[in-house]
Structures are given as C-alpha cells and as structure tokens.
Structure 1
Amino acid sequence: MTAIAALRLSLDVDLSGFVGVLQRLQVPHRVSEEAGEQVLWVPSEQQAADVRELYRRFPKGDPRLQALAPARSQGRMRTVLAASKMTALVLLLTLLVACVTLLGDNPATLHWLTFADFRLQGDYLVFIPPADSLAAGQWWRLFTPMLIHFGILHLTMNGLWYWELGRRIEARQGAGWLLALTLLFALLSNAAQYLFGGPSLFGGLSGVLYGLLGYCWIFQRLAPTPAYRLPPGVLVMMLVWLLLCASGLITALGFGSIANAAHVGGLLAGCLVGLLGGALARRHR
C-alpha cells in the first residue's frame, strides 16, 4: 500500500495532541522523521486531504474528543499496538523465553541462551569460554541473555519499562532503529558484564533498558522532542536504583545478584549513542 505524506512539519512542533485526535478517530497513520522534518503518513490521498483539514482546525488536538477515549479504548489499544510492533515483538520473545526456560529454572533450555555456555557438574555450573561457542557459530549468545529473566518480578518490571521506552523510540524513529539500539545495547551490556563480572549466569533486559534511558535522556537534551521527554522523577529513580544496586544493598537484602556492569555499560553506551544521534538531529534542524 502506497503511503501519502499528509503533513510535513518542523521537529519542534508537538504533534502529540493532533495524533491523539487521529487515534480517537481511528485514522490509520504513522509519523517518521525525514530530512529534519516530521512527516505524517496516511494510506490515501483522500485521507491526506481529510488530515490536512483536521490539522487546520485542531493543530493541538480537540478537547471535545477527549470524552470519546473511554468508549474507544479497545480501538485505541489496537492503534497503539499497530504503532509499536517491534516493541511488542521483543516483549513477546521475552515472554516465550520465560516459558521455555521456566524463568531460569530449566538448565536444559537455558544453557542455549546464556552468554557463556555451561554444563552441570553435580551442583555446580562449569562455564565454557564464549570464544569456543562463537567459533562453533553460536553468535546469538552475544544478544540472547537479554531475553532471560529470573522470576516473575524481574520479567514484569523489565517488560513494563521496555514497553514505555521502546514504543517512544519506535514512534519517533521507527522499528528498525529500535531493533538496532536494542541489539547494540544488549551486545555491549552483555560483554561488559562478562568482562567485569566473569563467567556467571546473568540475563534480563536491564542493560538494554539503561541504554534506552541514556539514549532518550541525552538525545532530548540536545534535540528536544516530545517523544523523549521523560518525567524528571523517572530519570532520578532509575539512577538511584543503579546506585543502590552497585552499592550491594539490594543483594544484601536477599534480592539476588545484580548485573551491575551490564547496567552501567548499557547506560554509558546509551548516553554515547544519544549524544551522537542528538547532535546529528540538532544539526539537521
């Protein structure tokens, strides 16, 4: 299906209110960044004309349509899912891995996804150097630890944060860019944890989450965009949690070992990529 550019606007324009109008009216659309502009795409010329007329009348949204939100909640959820396919796919894979590994309690399936393969020797895990697995063509191990979770709370918290951050990036810069960032931050945070923590059983989306957080934080400071505008309390809470985990307090309270190197590695990588991406976006403006 051919997409028609209905609107081309500066990146400084806040489209969130108008996009809310389109969502509540169930108008199929997507927003992307093209050559330093926000471009709103629709499937046909007729819809493009309708969207332009709507934008002329309600550039910041129509308060009268707010009352329709509860009645259209199901349609709105479908719209959100349609615009967040990559985010949902990553979460679906994470849920699938949680099922087949029994949240980390099934070594028979778990060992295929860890950064360093292992075998059971009595009550102990004997780890195999990652170089040996890579030489055997098991390159997926560089990324798959992000899908492993140990416990329902671990899975739930990471899943909720990935949904919040991932769909922001997917809406602003597309599914391909979200996938690239997810894989990059998974690779770097996993490598950091192995290098600084040694052979061990680790996993989770936390390293990726800190990467996405750092990316949105720095990108937003250099090239402000509504999609990456996080409440100040969110950033403070995540950084405080990072420090608490690094201090050893969380482990001492009985919450298990924390992959601190993965968290820090992901955050530093996210800040660096956000710095480069934000600088480029600012230059294009």
Structure 2
Amino acid sequence: MIKVLEVPLEQDLSELSQELWARRIGHRINEHNGHQEIWLADPAYFPELLQLLRDWQQGQLTHTINIKPRASIGKQIEMGFRQWPFSLLLIMVSTLITAAIFLLSSDQLLSMLTIVPVVLQGSQLIHGDLSTVLQQGELWRLLSPMFLHFGWLHLAFNCLWIWELGRLIETEQCSKKLLVVVLVSGLVANLSQYMMGDVLFGGLSGVVYGLLGYCWFWDKFARTPLFFVRKGVFIALMIWLVFCWLGGSAVLGLGNVANAAHIGGLIAGSLWAWIALKIFGEGRPNSRRI
C-alpha cells in the first residue's frame, strides 16, 4: 500500500470510502498524528481517487450501484485459495491432523509428529532425544509439533488468529513472506519449548505470536507501515501470554500451555521483521503525498 492523501481529523470520509469500495478500489483509512491518512493498495487508481475526491468535495459524487451475485461456496473457497493459499493450507492441515488423531485414536500418528518419538508405557512416558532424531534425518519433527492440537477449542483459537494475521501478511506482502515467518517462528517456538524439558506439546500458538510480533514490529520499524494491527489486539494477546505464564490457564481448567513456545515465537517473529527491514532493506517507502 502507498499513502496518497492526508486530511484533517474532523472530516468524515465514510461517503468517499463507500464509493471507493463500490468501485473495488482497495484502500485503508487510519488516524496518525492528528490527521487521517488514505492508503491505496494499487497506485494505478491514484488518478481516479483524485477525481472522486474533487467530486466529493463539490458535493457531486456519483454513487456506484454495486449489486453482486453471491458466489457459491465452491467459488468462495477457490477465491480464498487464490488470495490466501498458505493461511488456508495451515488451517486445513492442522484440522485434518487433529481430526485424524482424535477420531482414529492414532498414537502412532501422534508419535510421528512430536518433536521426538514418544510412547506411553503404563503411566510412564518414554521418549527419544533430539540429537538422535536429527542424526536419523527426521528433520520434519522440528516443525511438525505446530500441527498438533490437544482439543478442538485449542485448534479453533489458533486457526482464528492464523486466519486473521496470516491473511494480513499474504494480502499486504505475499505468501512467500508468510511462509518464511511461519518457518522461522515455528522452528524457534518448538525448540524453545523442547529446551524447557517438554516433549509432548504442540499447536500453532507459537506461530500466532510470531505473526503478531512480525506485523506489530514491522509497522514500528518500517518507514511505511503495512499491517495496522490494532493496539487492543496486541495488548490482549500480551495479557493472555502473561496470564498463561503465571499459571492462569491451569486455574481455568485449560491445562498446561506451551509458554516457552509463545515467547520464542514472539521473539522470532519480531526479530525477523527487524532483519527484513534493517539487513535485507525491505519496506522502503514508495509513496506520493498531496
């Protein structure tokens, strides 16, 4: 997105925004330093925006009647995979694996996806070690725990945030960027939890915090922000992280939480945003201001 316009805070831009959406012109309006900013997804629409702005200021804005037929479910899924393929893939794989483990009671599948092999003998958990796993070439185990969920509520919570934050990165950047953030944050999250002495853990929570850290600190470090994650969302997830770290999840009957994975993912995602901006030189401003 590029910033194309600044207007006073007291101006009501709702009518102009509705017309832009009616014409399928992607944009965003946000408040910054006492004024409103209009950002365009595609700079090619800049001349049309200027004309609409003049018409709007003169009270001559012609409203577009935009009645679109409702797409079928199949068409909606197809469009979703075109726009956010990796976000949907993460959700689908996690759901299918969780369903297979619960419905088939497959301890073998569970053991294949934990960071090291685990076997329950009576009441004792027998497990391997990471060095042996790596020597045997089972490298997928460094990432596969993120697809394990130990309850449907756990799965739904994580998928909701993958849907929100993952789509945001794919929309504003691309699927490859999302893939990199997921790999980095997932790897660090899993290793962080393993270093705490845990072997039976899983979930996309570490990745969720990685995506949150990436989006939030990208906008903090970059000259041109992209994601505009609401401050309330960031604070709420930070409160949840601290609450779980202090044992609040156990008090609520939600069981143990992989706190080290959450923190590891958050640090990894935040650090990756800094590396992409400061070392790789991404996020340089490319905007026009009038």
TM category, shorter: 0.7 to 0.9
Cα 1:67–1:233 shift into 2, 3 Å: farther
Bigger Cα displacement from structure 2, 100-109 vs 181-190: 100-109
- Asked whether the 8 Å contact 1:104–1:149 carries over to 2, the reply is no
The one-letter amino acid of 1:261's match is: A
Name the Cα RMSD after superposition.
3.4
- Give the greater-gyration-radius structure (CA): 2
Give ranges in structure 1 of 5+ residues lacking alignment: 1-9, 26-37, 42-47
- Asked whether the 8 Å contact 1:86–1:179 carries over to 2, the reply is yes
Greater share of residues in helix: 1
Cα 1:159–1:221 shift into 2, 3 Å: same
- Asked whether the 8 Å contact 1:104–1:148 carries over to 2, the reply is no
Partner of residue 2, structure 2 = 11
Per-residue CA shift, 1:40-66, capped at 9, x if unaligned?
Answer: 59xxxxxx8xx788566558xx99458
Tell me the CA shift for residue 119 of structure 1: 1.7
Partner of residue 254, structure 1 = 253
Once the two structures are superposed, the pairs formed by residues 1-285 of structure 1 within 5 Å of their partners are: 11-13=2-4, 20-21=21-22, 40=42, 57=51, 64=63, 68=67, 71-72=69-70, 79-102=79-102, 106-196=106-196, 198-223=197-222, 227-279=226-278, 280-283=281-284, 285=286
Tell me the CA shift for residue 156 of structure 1: 0.4
Task: State TM-score, norm by structure 2.
Answer: 0.75
The one-letter amino acid of 1:230's match is: V
Tell me the CA shift for residue 133 of structure 1: 1.5
Aligned length: 251
Tell me the CA shift for residue 76 of structure 1: 6.9
Q: 2-side partners of 1:66 and 1:248: how far apart?
A: 54
Cα 1:247–1:67 shift into 2, 3 Å: farther
Give ranges in structure 2 of 5+ residues lacking alignment: 6-16, 27-39, 54-60
SS of 1:120 mapped into structure 2 = strand
- Asked whether the 8 Å contact 2:224–2:283 carries over to 1, the reply is no
Task: State TM-score, norm by structure 1.
Answer: 0.76
Tell me the CA shift for residue 128 of structure 1: 0.4
Q: 1-side partners of 2:190 and 2:167: how far apart?
A: 23
Stretches of 4+ moved more than 6 A in 1? none
- Asked whether the 8 Å contact 2:189–2:260 carries over to 1, the reply is yes
SS of 1:229 mapped into structure 2 = coil
- Asked whether the 8 Å contact 1:104–1:151 carries over to 2, the reply is no
